[in-house]
């Protein structure tokens, strides 16, 4: 028998009650423990896999619930539309949701630790949190600098050039209402604004799209929203 004074705890792995044992090892699952060190045993209530997951390291869920919304944000900002009303609103909502989810998660962990009488350990991984916070800041900067739009357009520019020349040269050819142009889905209806700029609209909206003008222009859209120059004769716009 062990000579150390034995504290009665449960196996951290399988909840077996660790008492009167010939060696410091769970007879049920083989997990070793130290009878003198309460941290090696579960001194609280028996704990199931779900509560164990809640109280365990939270790295992977954290990373996913931060990175996926950021990827989604970069994706929606590939189009001109969100740069008008959404440019500050969408990142602000996202940051608020991320902060709120941290508070909610901390509350759930503290409550679970209390119910199961477990020591509460704050989420570990400060380094990971720093990296994730940096990802949030970088993503917002990329959006403010319109990088997703510029990359999306750069990837689509060759397709966009042949699309516009096809629409101009064969205006009466039968076409489906929309088609894929590079990474975008565009309406095949060509319009011009008051100053004659050719407007290519995103599918399903006549308020956002790309403008084509050989002359330098202020705004490629129809009424003042947001817009700007991309490269060469290309502009982007999102109407009010
Ligand atoms: Zn065990």
Regarding whether 141 and 101 lie in a shared domain, the answer is: yes
Give the three-class secondary structure for 48.
coil
CA of residue 195 to ligand 1 center, whole Å? 78
Half-sphere exposure of 222 (CA within 13 A, CB side): 13
Give the total number of structural domains in the chain.
3
Regarding whether 98 and 170 lie in a shared domain, the answer is: no
Structure confidence at residue 162 (pLDDT) = 96
Whole-number Cα distances in Å, 159 to 17, 125, 156? 69, 45, 5
Give the three-class secondary structure for 212.
strand
Regarding whether 153 and 211 lie in a shared domain, the answer is: yes
Using 50 as the pLDDT threshold, list the residues of the chain that sit under it.
1
Tell which of 145, 167, 182 closes a domain: 145
CA of residue 176 to ligand 1 center, whole Å? 65
Percent of the chain at pLDDT > 70 equals 96
pTM for this predicted structure: 0.79
| Distance, first Cα to last Cα, the chain | 81
Backbone angles phi and psi of 154, in degrees to 5: -60, -40
CA of residue 9 to ligand 1 center, whole Å? 11
Regarding whether 139 and 165 lie in a shared domain, the answer is: no
Q: Measured between alpha carbons, how far is 153 from 144 in angstroms, rounded to an integer?
A: 16
Regarding whether 129 and 91 lie in a shared domain, the answer is: yes
Regarding whether 17 and 1 lie in a shared domain, the answer is: yes
Domain containing 31 equals 1-43
CA of residue 197 to ligand 1 center, whole Å? 74
The enclosing H or E element of 135 equals helix 126-144
Regarding whether 72 and 15 lie in a shared domain, the answer is: no
Question: pLDDT of 115-161, one tens digit each?
Answer: 999 888 776 667 888 999 999 999 999 999 999 999 999 999 999 99
Which tokens is 192 given? 């011009």
Tell which of 82, 115, 145 closes a domain: 145
Tell which of 105, 128, 145 closes a domain: 145
Regarding whether 218 and 157 lie in a shared domain, the answer is: yes
CA of residue 17 to ligand 1 center, whole Å? 8
Regarding whether 198 and 168 lie in a shared domain, the answer is: yes
Structure confidence at residue 233 (pLDDT) = 96
Structure confidence at residue 195 (pLDDT) = 86
Question: pLDDT of 216-238, one tens digit each?
Answer: 999 999 988 899 999 999 999 99
Structure confidence at residue 112 (pLDDT) = 93
Q: Measured between alpha carbons, how far is 167 from 174 in angstroms, rounded to an integer?
A: 11
Non-local (6+) Cβ contacts of 28 within 8 A are 11, 14, 16
CA of residue 119 to ligand 1 center, whole Å? 19
Regarding whether 233 and 160 lie in a shared domain, the answer is: yes
Regarding whether 193 and 180 lie in a shared domain, the answer is: yes
Report the chain's mean pLDDT, rounded to a whole number.
90
Give, as residue ranges, everything with CB less than 5 Å from ion ligand 1.
11, 13-14, 16, 26, 28-29, 31
Regarding whether 165 and 108 lie in a shared domain, the answer is: no
Q: What share of the chain is helix, strand, coil (3-state, %, to 5)?
A: 45, 15, 40
């Amino acid at each position: 028998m062990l000579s150390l004074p034995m504290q009665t705890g449960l196996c951290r792995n399988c909840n077996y009650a660790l008492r009167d044992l010939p060696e410091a090892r769970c007879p049920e699952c083989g997990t070793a423990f130290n009878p003198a060190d309460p941290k090696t045993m579960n001194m609280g209530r028996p704990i199931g896999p779900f509560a164990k997951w809640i109280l365990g390291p939270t790295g992977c869920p954290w990373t996913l619930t931060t990175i996926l919304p950021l990827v989604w944000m970069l994706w929606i900002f590939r189009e001109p539309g969100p740069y008008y009303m959404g440019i500050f609103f969408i990142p602000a909502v996202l940051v608020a949701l991320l902060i709120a989810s941290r508070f909610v998660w901390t509350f759930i962990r503290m409550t679970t630790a209390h119910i199961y009488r477990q020591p509460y350990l704050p989420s570990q991984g400060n380094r990971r949190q720093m990296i994730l916070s940096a990802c949030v800041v970088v993503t917002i900067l990329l959006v403010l600098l319109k990088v997703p739009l510029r990359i999306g357009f750069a990837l689509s520019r060759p397709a966009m050039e042949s699309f516009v020349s096809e629409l101009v040269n064969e205006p009466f050819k039968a076409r489906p209402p929309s088609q894929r142009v590079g990474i975008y889905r565009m309406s095949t209806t060509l319009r011009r604004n008051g100053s004659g700029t050719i407007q290519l609209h995103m599918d399903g909206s006549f308020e956002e799209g790309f403008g084509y003008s050989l002359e330098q222009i202020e705004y490629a859209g129809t009424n003042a929203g947001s817009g700007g120059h991309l490269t060469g004769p290309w502009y982007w716009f999102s109407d009010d």
